[in-house]
Amino acid sequence: MLLVIIGILLFELIIFIHEFGHFMTAKKCGVKVNEFALGMGPKLLKFQKGETLYSLRAFPIGGFCAMEGEDAESDDKRAFGNQAVWKRMIIVVAGAVMNILLGFVLMMITLIPSRAFASNRIAVFADVSTSSQQLQVGDAIESINGYGIHTSMDLNFALATAKNNDMTFRVKRGGETLTFDHVKLPTTKNEDGKEIVHLDFKVQAIENNFGTLLQQTFLQTVSTVRMVWASLIGLLTGQFGFNEVAGPIGMTSAITQAAASGLQSSFWDGLSNLIFIMMVITVNLGVVNLLPLPALDGGRLIFLIVEAIRRKPVKPEHEGWVHAIGLALLLLLMVVISINDIIRLFH
């Protein structure tokens, strides 16, 4: 039960960081903020400070930063809609940027204890190796099946999404770029009968120092963003099934499972697992919110770009209808995903 509560609190921290990005930039740009809320539904706690109402709501599935004139016309000079378009763009993207920055910080925290980092350069092959028929020690792997490899996270994602062990490797060898088709790697089957591809070689280590820590933090955060985009594209193209999508319930379950798994070995392993899952979720939230879809920050940004190009805003009621329809569809999707999460919890 304690782990469930921790999972919910960590998820809400991610939501708070996102909404605080909107709140902070709105205040800095002189926009009036009517309410800053954590959670959705009925108010549990509330207090007024200055012009802003701060509230904690019953359902820990989101939050919001309600700005004056955000979805309707307002005569207030400090209304969101009455600000310069560049200010509104900054406010709109600030939430997603804060999520990705949080991901950067969390990634660094998970990497600090590492003795070394994995590179993309082959160090040694296993005693029995099929890939060594084409690959060589010292090869720097540039891509697998077209997916760019820069970090160990890229390497793991490429293997996890491989359909079979018939792979295409592009490597850098002695200053020359070479492509090898039909590279064979060993496989095993998991409990669901899915074939899992494994490496039959080890990669060279990168010493952990201040410079490489910053470099790996940046590269692996970028790898996480790429992984999210690749997953979204895979979902749209049918590469991944709908059952592989998780909502708040599924994410909370993943957080608590990661904590429980880590706590079996030590408290610090459990904490490290939690931080890593948080990093993935906060980057997910940042990337998804920038998608050009109604009701998301990316959708609002599209309207602002259109306004900047035509030098005339779209009528608030028209934009409001688009976002209202988008929000309704988004909430419906969240309900379906949450039901799917609950079903998976009992299977």
Residues forming the active site: 19
Decide: residue 26, CB within 10 A, 0-12 exposed, 13-18 middle, 19+ buried: buried
Q: Pseudo-torsion of CA 80, 83, 86, 88, nearest 10°?
A: 0
Q: Pseudo-torsion of CA 121, 126, 132, 135, nearest 10°?
A: 0
Can you name the residues that pair with 206 across neighbouring β-strands? Answer: 117
Question: In the chain, what is the straight-line distance between the N-terminal and C-terminal CA atoms, in Å?
Answer: 19
Rounded Cα gap, residues 67 and 78, in angstroms? 9
Rounded Cα gap, residues 161 and 209, in angstroms? 31
Rounded Cα gap, residues 36 and 38, in angstroms? 7
Cα–Cα separations (whole angstroms), residue 224 to 38, 81, 103, 343: 26, 34, 9, 27
Phi, psi for residue 140 in degrees, rounded to 5: -100, 115
Determine contact, residues 249/342, Cβ cutoff 8 Å: yes
Tell me which H or E stretch contains 34.
Answer: strand 33-49
